[in-house]
Amino acid sequence: MPLSEEEVAFHSSQIKRFVESLHGVLFGQETLIDLVVTGLLAKGHILLEGLPGLGKTELVKGLAKALALETKRIQFTPDLLPGDITGNPVLQDTENGRSFEFQKGPLFANLVLADEINRASPKTQSALLEAMQERQVTVLGQAHELPDPFFVLATQNPIELEGTYPLPEAQLDRFLFKLEVHRNDVETLEKIVKNREIGIAPSVEPVLDHEGFSKIVDAVRRIYLPDVVANYIARLVDGTHRGQSSTAGLIKFGASPRAALGLAAAAKAKALMAGRINTSFEDVDEVAIPVLQHRIIPEYETRLEGKTNAELVRMLLEEIPRQVLDLPSTLKDS
């Protein structure tokens, strides 16, 4: 059932309060906060990349407080094992004798902070694959449902730093957004110095409860996606594959269908945040880079030229027309 303008206005005002509460957690990162909230409303997992000390972890903690969600933090290290995340069967004494009972790991929470995810081995990183896609974990052949909602917000250091492992492509594809956290300018640093102290976390009051957040997420799904916008999304994703655009000649492997679904969901969330009942081309353009940049693999020569994945997506946005005019059949042969 489509949303009314009154419903959209109500939810939009709630989202605005939510976003404003996070501005007091991370100074000078308004665009980043806006995109993180967009990703959550689209029910997506988010990967935050940046150097240590830029506030990635504090932002995730602030999100959990503002939404009053159960949150758990996993500090990824090279010696972390898959069972340390998902949980393990434990031998316990019962009335019928000894038996194995599943003991839940830290993955069983609404909001999971996977801190420095690329410091863990690929084997441990792969333990998140099923959880992020199917919202469940399977241990010894038995499936265990994860809480609803369930989000993974992971932080990673640039891969050039020592002691890091690149995330496999299958896992990257399960993140709706990859967002880069940049360093602060002088004005923002001065504000941080005046308003922050080491070891003291910023105070954040709950803005939305579980029910209120769930209603907003449901409203995002009911935002109207026009056919022309859906077609634009399909052509953008298709344009990342060889032979479909000139930009694709610089890309070795293009984006998956999951990227198209992510673009649609994120564009709907953007529209609701802006107080509109339908998505637009502009909504898609605003989320195209965070949705696509980690889902394409450039050619070796492209990397040598210094082109980043974000630049390739920008080139694609400039090349792919927003709307393709379909002429009547009587005019096509004339």
Residues 216 and 272 in one domain: no
Do the domain assignments include residue 152?
A: yes
- Count of the separate structural domains present in the chain: 2
Beta strand 136-139 with 142-145 is antiparallel
- Please give the pLDDT value at position 40: 94
- Please give the pLDDT value at position 171: 86
Residues 147 and 277 in one domain: no
| In contact, 153 and 22? CB cutoff 8 Å | no
Residues 123 and 255 in one domain: no
Residues 211 and 229 in one domain: no
- Please give the pLDDT value at position 297: 92
Residues 103 and 201 in one domain: yes
Q: Domain ends where: 192, 222, 252?
A: 222
Intra-chain end-to-end CA distance of the chain, in Å: 42
Q: What share of the chain is helix, strand, coil (3-state, %, to 5)?
A: 45, 15, 35
Do the domain assignments include residue 332?
A: no
The CATH number of the domain holding residue 250 is 1.10.8.80
Provide the 3-class DSSP secondary structure of residue 91.
strand
Q: What distance in Å separates the CA atoms of residue 256 and residue 273, rounded to the nearest whole number?
A: 26
Residues 276 and 217 in one domain: no
Residues 237 and 189 in one domain: no
Residues 182 and 305 in one domain: no
Do the domain assignments include residue 63?
A: yes
Domain boundaries, position 178: 1-222
Rg (the chain; Cα; Å): 22
Query: How do the pLDDT tens digits run along the chain, 334 residues long?
Result: 778 889 999 999 999 999 988 888 888 788 899 999 999 999 999 999 887 777 787 888 888 888 888 888 899 888 888 889 998 888 777 777 777 788 888 999 999 999 888 888 888 888 888 889 889 988 878 888 999 889 999 988 776 666 677 788 888 899 999 998 888 788 878 887 877 776 666 777 888 888 889 999 999 999 999 999 999 999 999 999 988 888 888 999 999 999 999 999 999 999 999 999 999 999 999 999 999 999 999 998 988 888 999 999 999 999 999 887 654 444 444 3
- Please give the pLDDT value at position 159: 65
| In contact, 302 and 312? CB cutoff 8 Å | yes
Do the domain assignments include residue 313?
A: yes
Residues 188 and 276 in one domain: no
- Please give the pLDDT value at position 108: 92
Q: Domain ends where: 198, 222, 246?
A: 222
What values do phi and psi take at 197, rounded to 5? Answer: -130, 145
Residues 201 and 243 in one domain: no
